[in-house]
Amino acid sequence: MTAPAQPTSPRRSDATRAAILRSARERFAADGYERATIRAIAADAQIDPSMVMRYYGSKEGLFAAAAEFDLRLPDLSAVPPEQLGETLVRHFLTRWEGDETLVALLRAASTNPGAAERMRGIFTDQLTAAVATFGTDPTTTARRAGLVASQILGLAYTRYVVRLPPMVDTTPQDLVSWVAPTLQRYLTGTPES
C-alpha cells in the first residue's frame, strides 16, 4: 500500500480520489445519505459524476469509503482513574470538531441501515474495548460503554445535527466541565451514586 519505491509512479490521479472523498464527507455530513447525490459530490470535486462510479462502484461503496472512521481513543489504562470522564469528552469534542466524518455517519445512520450497522460496529468495538481496559466488573462493560455512547452521541446530535441553540453556543470548555462527571459516573460509578 505505502511502498512508492519507483519514482516513475507518483500516482497519476490519486488526488482525484481524495478530492472525491473530501466532497463526499462534506455532502453526507450536510445532507445525509439520500439527499447527498453523486452529481452534487462530483460537482463539488469538480470532476465528472461517472468518475465517482468508476472509482467507487456505487453510492454505497462511496459512502463506505467516505465513512471509514477511527475514534482514535487514547489508552485509558494510562489515564488517572478520576480523569477518565474529562479525558473522554475532551477527546471526542476535539476529534470531531475537526473532522466531519462522524457527523456524516451520525446523519446517515438515522436513515441508512448500512450506516447504522457501521455506527454500531464503531461504538460497540472501539468504545467497548477502551472501556474494558481498566478494571471494572467485565459484566458491566457493555452497559457502561452504551451509556457513554448515549451521552456522547446525544451531545453530537444536538450540537452538530439539530443544532439546538444552547448546545451550539456553549464553549467546548463548558461542555467538558458539565459532561465529564456524567461519563465519569457511567464509567466507574454506580447507578445510585
Phi and psi at residue 121, in whole multiples of 5°? -60, -45
B/e letters for 146-159, b = 16+ CB within 10 Å, e = fewer, are: ebbbebbbebbbeb
Phi and psi at residue 146, in whole multiples of 5°? -65, -40
129 forms part of the interface with its own copies (CB under 8 A)? no
Q: Which does 13 bind (CB under 5 to 8 A by kind): DNA, its own copies, none?
A: DNA
Residues in contact with its own copies, counted by CB under 8 A, come to a total of 49
16 forms part of the interface with DNA (CB under 7 A)? yes
38 forms part of the interface with DNA (CB under 7 A)? yes
By rule CB under 8 A, what string of x and - marks binding of each residue 17-56 to its own copies? --------------xxxxx---------------------
> Cα separation of 40 and 38, whole Å?
5
Q: Which does 50 bind (CB under 5 to 8 A by kind): its own copies, DNA, none?
A: DNA
Residues ≥6 apart with Cβ < 8 Å to 67: 25, 28, 101, 104, 105, 108, 115, 118
Min CB(27)–DNA separation in Å: 10
> Cα separation of 135 and 133, whole Å?
7
Q: Which does 65 bind (CB under 5 to 8 A by kind): its own copies, DNA, none?
A: none
64 forms part of the interface with its own copies (CB under 8 A)? no
